[in-house]
Amino acid sequence: MRKYFARKIFVYALTFFVAVTINWMIPRFMPGDPVQSRLARASLNNPEASQAMRDYYTSVFGFDLPIWQQYLNFWGALFKGDLGISVWLFPTPVTDVILRAVPFSLGLLLPAILLSWVVGNRFGAYAARSKWLDNTVLPVGYVLTATPYMWLALLLAWGLGIVAGWFPVAGAYSFALRPDFSWMFVSSLVQHWFLPFLSMFLVALGGWAIGMRNMIIYELESEYSNYLQALGAPRRLIRKYAFRNAMLPQITGLAVQLGTVVAGSLLTEIVFSYPGLGFLILQAIQNQDFFLLQGAFLFIVAGVLIANFIIDIVYVLVDPRTRIQLQGGVK
Amino acid sequence: MTAAQPLPDPLAGPEGTAAALPEAPRREALYFALRNKKLLIGSAIVGSLLLLGILAPFFFQNGPNERIAPPGLEPSAQYWFGTTQFGQDIFVQFAHGVRSTFLVGVLGGGIGAVIGMTVGFVAGYKGGWIDEILNMITNVVLVLPTLAVLLIIAAYLESRGIVMQSLFIGLTTWPWAARAIRSQALSLSSRDYVDLARLSGFRTHKIILRDIAPNMSSYLFMTFILLFGGSVLAAAGLDFVGLGPTDGMSLGLMMHQAVKWGALQLGVWWWFVPPGLGITAIVGSLYIMNVGLDEVFNPKLREM
């Protein structure tokens, strides 16, 4: 058990290390000079001004130091929570900008992931039971998983937001309101939240339904199902056992799919101008705010790693076999 | 992206029933392939879109970004998908976009498949510390959120082409494939005929290529299809954020431009519906084709 978690934590720590290193390396080793490209975009004619800007950017990136020193400084700043200053929202530190956006992203992601997982599993389990349902759920599920997140978001925003006028299509709350705990503000918040949530929920739903359906069919072919059937056990009981066994790979699937769903939430937020991390990333790209972009990247990686670790714990808690198996050091 | 959903295990079925006649399995697969509705419908949709992407751009003398018509026209007989707010023909853009979508899928999926297969086969066949190290690398790349990594790379690239994009997508999407192939290779590598090959002194790569890979060729093909779909979706996401190809046209870029120039507010639905529909049709049909292929190759599933 301890060995299992030690191993997991090691992989996550290594991943974080790799992510930070990528983050540090990309501006330095990509073809092209980041300082030069910034100067070109500022398009200064005055040589003095451009020299001042060059000095500024060189010192911001720390390009005047030896490489190893740059790398260590990067880590040092990171541990102090210093990710640089945002260009887009000058002079706000990147960490503050991101921390303001994180609650909105989480508020979308957590319900969308959990609900789609629960509902998708139910659907899939039912679908595996009947031929008619299977023939409808399966194609619908595949089409949903093949749908790009932003496209479904666009369709919903257009259909339910603009044509039908039922929901607002931009922002997290009405621009006429100030954040407080009034009934009006909360209802505005919920109204703005619903469409982005719905579109993420729908896209994610298909994958879980298909996965569960396949797992149930696989479980129903296994020995214990046949044995129960031979004993004359009721169908419902066999189904129940199959469902519980099929749950476990679905939990692992949750960890594997996390990156995809997070990516989907970024794209969905952009469509709805929802002020989460995805919207920040779009602003960062459009405003050439590289510190903000890199900060957001690190936050996303850290979030995914933490979520993975939570899923690992849940997996062990749900499945008593892993505990025994892992004490023996198998796997 | 169902990429991570486990494919049903092809090795679980009864083996060698048809092996007595070497010709039989192939003919049998063809027999079932021609009678599988999912496979036929899926490949018909993918095939016709592929044809459109390859041929259609030759029939237009205008490029996808040229302004040739009155702006904001609804779909009509002359402009099948209407025109953008800048008077670009959306059908021309769509045809070019479909072409680059297939290119990204083949290149990105291909690179991902090659890396995934190499890592998976070597890890599964070799075992031991090589397996440990490859596993570690696989796990690290697996938990890194792909789109976030691609965003950060693409943001720093000065000029972006479709080939470059596919390369980076291929470099980040392989881990689940490596994992799946590793577990298959692991179970195959303990078979008697592999032992025999090893005792005969064949080199590792020869054993993998001649004895292990051919026995799971259908599985490998299906892995490639899933990677293809994953690459297309990843590329569409990147393009949509505005980090798509700096020259040329893609379906994701069309949606990016539509949102950027307010197609949603202006009600210009014909600007953002076709590109997304194209992606969904290609990727969805590929997934459904995959189910069909699975039924063809796996006798256990045929009755369903």
Q: Residue B234's pLDDT band (boundaries 50, 70, 90)?
A: very high
Instruction: Please give the CATH number for the structural domain made up of A95-319.
Output: 1.10.3720.10
Q: Would you say the C-alpha torsion B16, B21, B22, B25 has a positive or negative sign? A: negative
pLDDT, tens only, A165-182: 888 888 878 777 777 778
Cβ–Cβ below 8 Å for A18 and B144: yes
| Nearest alpha-carbon partner for A12 in A274, A313, A327 | A313
Over residues A9-31, mean pLDDT? 84
Q: What is the pLDDT of residue B81?
A: 84
Q: Residue A3's pLDDT band (boundaries 50, 70, 90)?
A: confident
Residues in A closer than 8 angstroms to B252, CB to CB, are 148
Residues in B closer than 8 angstroms to A282, CB to CB, are 241-242
pLDDT, tens only, B21-38: 445 666 777 777 778 888
**CB-based burial of residue B1 (10 Å sphere; 0-12 exposed, 13-18 middle, 19+ buried)?**
buried
Q: Does B47 touch chain A (CB under 8 A)?
A: no
Beta-carbon contacts below 8 Å between A and B:
188
In chain A, where the domains are located:
95-319
Q: What is the pLDDT of residue B18?
A: 41
Pick the CATH number of B30-57+87-301 from 3.30.1360.170, 1.10.3720.10, 1.10.760.10, 3.10.20.600: 1.10.3720.10
A2-29 and A320-327 are packed helices; what angle lies between their axes, rounded to 10 degrees? 90
Residues in A closer than 8 angstroms to B148, CB to CB, are 259, 262-263, 266, 296-297, 300-301
**Looking at A59-63, B209-213, B230-234, which range is the least confident one?**
A59-63
Q: Which of B2, B7, B164 best probes binding to A when mutated, by most A CB atoms within 10 angstroms?
A: B2
Q: Choose the closest CB to B152 out of A26, A157, A263.
A: A26
Q: What is the pLDDT of residue A30?
A: 67
What is the residue whose two structure tokens read 């359906």?
A213
Q: Does B8 touch chain A (CB under 8 A)?
A: yes
Q: What is the pLDDT of residue B17?
A: 42
Judge contact between A303 and B187, C-beta under 8 A. no
pLDDT score of B174 more than 70: yes
- Tell me the C-alpha distance between B226 and B110, whole Å: 11
Q: What is the pLDDT of residue A31?
A: 63
| Nearest alpha-carbon partner for A294 in A41, A83, A85 | A83
What distance in Å separates residue B179's CA from the closest CA in chain A?
12
Residues in B closer than 8 angstroms to A34, CB to CB, are 156
- The answer to whether ipTM exceeds 0.90 is no
pLDDT, tens only, B8-23: 444 444 444 444 444 5
Write down how long chain A is.
331
In chain B, where the domains are located:
30-57+87-301
Based on DSSP, count helices (H) and strands (E) in chain A, helices before strands: 13, 0
pLDDT score of A139 more than 80: yes
pLDDT, tens only, A286-318: 887 788 888 899 999 999 999 999 998 888 888
pLDDT score of A196 more than 90: yes
Cβ–Cβ below 8 Å for A266 and B236: no
pLDDT score of B268 more than 70: yes
Residues in B closer than 8 angstroms to A169, CB to CB, are 264
pLDDT score of B92 more than 80: yes
Q: What is the pLDDT of residue B239?
A: 92
Mean pLDDT of chain A: 84
